[in-house]
Amino acid sequence: MKGGCGRRTLGEKREREKPMQATQAGKLDAVRKLKKIQALFVDDCRIQRVVLKTRRKMSWRPTYRSSKFRNVYGKVANREHFFEGIPITKNVHDNHFCAVNAKFLAIVTESAGGGTFVVIPVTQFGRIDPHYPKVCGHQGNVLDIKWNPFHDNIIASCSEDASVRIWEIPDGGLRRNLTESVLELYGHSRRVGLIEWHPTTSGILFSAGYDYKILIWNLEIGEPVKMIDCHTDVILCMSFNTEGSLLATSCKDKKLRVIEPRSGNVLQQEANFKNHKVSRVVFLGNMKRLLTTGVSRWNTRQIALWDQEDLSMPIIEEEIDGLSGLLFPFYDADTHMLYLAGKGDGNIRYYEITLEKPYLQYLMEFRSPAPQKGLGVMPKHGLDVGACEVFRFYKLVTLKGLIEPISMIVPRRSETYQEDIYPMTSGTEPALSADEWLSGINRGPVLMSLKEGYNRPNKLVFKAPVKEKKGGVVNGIDLLENVPPRTENELLRMFFRQQEELRRLKDELTQRDIKIRQLELELNNIRNSPNINNNNNSSSNGSSI
C-alpha cells in the first residue's frame, strides 16, 4: 500500500509539475517574443530615422513652413467710413477708374458731354452731394487717373480725346468745378488708355495710346522726350521695376516685353505664348521676377511667374478658376505678398512669393458678395501702422454707387510699432531729377521709416512750364486739335459743328445770291431808264450832224 501510495504520490507530483513547467515555458516564450518585438521596434525606429534624414537631405520643401503673414485677414471698414452717392463710370475699359493717396480719393464718374472725375479728401466719409465739384476739362471719357507719387496734390489723367492733362488739387479739396489744367499734353494720334508715373524720378510721366505707342513726357518742359514704338497692337499694361530702369509691358498681340525705356530697346526677345495669354504684368520688386495674369488655352484664369532675364518659358503656371473677369495683380514689395482681384468678382486672393520652391504660397481669401468695378490702393505712408495694416484697398461698387475701404491686417496682440512687418519703404522724395534720369543715371527709391516719417510733410513744389497757347479757333473749329475724332461724343460734336458751319455758309450764300439778283435788277433798270435812252439818241444825232 505504501509503495503504491508512494508511486501515486510521485505521479501526482509529476502531474502537478507539468502545468508549472508549461507556465514557465510560456513565460520564457513571452519574454523572447517581447525581446524580438523590442528589437524590431528599435530597428524600425532606426530605419525611420534614416529615412527622415534622407528626406531632409533630398527634399526642398520644409516639414513646417512658418510665415508672419499666414493669418492676414481682410477687414471692411464701418459703414460710416464708406463713400456713398458717387456716380461711378460705366465705361468698360479695363482700368481701375480709381486713384488714392494719403490726402485724396479720386474716382472717374459718369457724365455727359465729356469726361469728369471727382476728388474727395480721404477723411470726408459719408454721402457725397450730387452737385459736388468735379474735374471736368476733358472732351472725352476719362480712361485712367494716377496721383504723383511725390506730390499729393498733383494728379494726371488721360482720355479718349487723345490728351493727357496734369491737374493741381488745392488742399482741402475742390470748392468749384475745375476746368483749367496745369498742363495739357498732346502727342498721341488716338485715345490714351494708360498713364504711369516714374517710380523714382520727379516730372517723368509715361502714356500709352491706342496708336500702339508709348510717350515719355518731361513735365519740366511739357514736351515728349522719347517715343517707344515696338508694339504692334494696343498696350494693355505697364509696370516698372524698383529703380525704374526697366519697363515691362503686356500687349494685345499676346506678347510680353521687357524694355529699356530711355533707348526704347526690347531687352528680352518677344515671346509668343500659346498656353498663357497675358493680360496684366507686374514687376516683383528686386526679385528679378515678373508675374502675369491671363487665361489659358482652355479659357481658365491663371497666373504665371517669369524670370525677367529669360522669357522663353514661365517658371511656374497656376490656374485660378474658370471665371471670365480680368485678374488684377497687386504686389507689396515690403511683405512680398501678391493680391489677386478679379473684375466683377467679390473676392481677393492673396499669396506670399519666395525665391525658392514652391514660389507661390497661397495664404487666404477675402470674400464679399458685392462685385468690384475697380480697386484703388493706398500708398504705404497712408496706412494705419497702429492697427498692423499692411495693405488697403478702396473697392468700387458700381451698382450701389459706393466705395468700400478694405484693410489687410496682420493679427498682433501688442499695440506697439511692429518693425518686422514694416521695413524701410519707398518714401515721398524723388531720388532723381528728370534730367538726371534722362542722362542715364539709375538710382533706387529714397527709403523712409513708417515709424518716424510717415506723417512727414512733403515740401516738393510742382512747377508747370510756361507755354504759349496759340490762338487757332476759326469759325468755331479749334485748329489745335491735331487728332481726328475717335469717340462717339467727339464725333457728334464735330458733326454738329460742321452742320452749323454748313447752315451758316448756306445762309451766307443765299444772302449773296439775293444781293446779286438785286444788283442785276438795278443794272437792268439803269440800262432801261428813258433818260439814258434820250441821252444816247441825242449823242447819236449830234454825231450824225
Other Cβ atoms within 10 Å of 103 Cβ, number: 17
Q: Which residues of 7-36 are buried (b: 16+ CB within 10 A; e: fewer)?
A: eeeeeeeeeeeeeeeeeeeeeeeeeeeeee
Asked if residue 8 has pLDDT above 60, the reply is: no
Determine, yes or no, domain membership for 306.
yes
Determine, yes or no, domain membership for 229.
yes
Determine, yes or no, domain membership for 142.
yes
Q: What is the pLDDT of residue 519?
A: 87
C-alpha cell at 410: 496682420
Give the list of residues 6+ apart from residue 26 with CB closer than 8 angstroms, or none: none
Asked if residue 182 has pLDDT above 70, the reply is: yes
Q: Which residues of 267-303 are buried (b: 16+ CB within 10 A; e: fewer)?
A: ebebbebeebbbbbbbbbeebebbbbbbbbeeeebbb
C-alpha cell at 33: 517574443
Asked if residue 491 has pLDDT above 90, the reply is: no
> Which domain CATH number covers 255?
2.130.10.10
- Among 138-142, 185-189, 472-476, the minimum mean pLDDT is found in 472-476
Determine, yes or no, domain membership for 154.
yes
Q: What is the pLDDT of residue 6?
A: 46
Confidence of residue 310 (pLDDT cuts 50, 70, 90): confident
Asked if residue 278 has pLDDT above 90, the reply is: no
Determine, yes or no, domain membership for 347.
yes
Asked if residue 311 has pLDDT above 90, the reply is: no
- Among 87-96, 416-425, 474-483, the minimum mean pLDDT is found in 474-483
Number of domains in the chain: 1
Determine, yes or no, domain membership for 519.
no
Dist CA 373 CA 375 (whole Å) = 7
Segment 287-296 shows an average pLDDT of 90
Other Cβ atoms within 10 Å of 479 Cβ, number: 10
Asked if residue 207 has pLDDT above 50, the reply is: yes
At residue 235, φ and ψ (nearest 5 deg) are -85, 125
Q: What is the DSSP letter of 28?
A: H
For residue 96, the enclosing domain spans 73-448
Are 246 and 252 in contact by the 8 Å Cβ rule? The answer is no
- Among 223-237, 376-390, 530-544, the minimum mean pLDDT is found in 530-544
Q: What is the pLDDT of residue 216?
A: 94
Determine, yes or no, domain membership for 177.
yes
Dist CA 105 CA 329 (whole Å) = 20
For 390-436, what is each residue's pLDDT tens digit?
999 999 998 888 999 999 999 988 778 888 888 889 988 999 999 99
Neighbouring-strand partners of residue 23: none
Asked if residue 267 has pLDDT above 60, the reply is: yes
For 509-521, what is each residue's pLDDT tens digit?
888 888 888 888 8
The rounded mean pLDDT for the chain is: 81
Determine, yes or no, domain membership for 390.
yes
Q: What is the pLDDT of residue 11?
A: 61
Asked if residue 112 has pLDDT above 80, the reply is: no
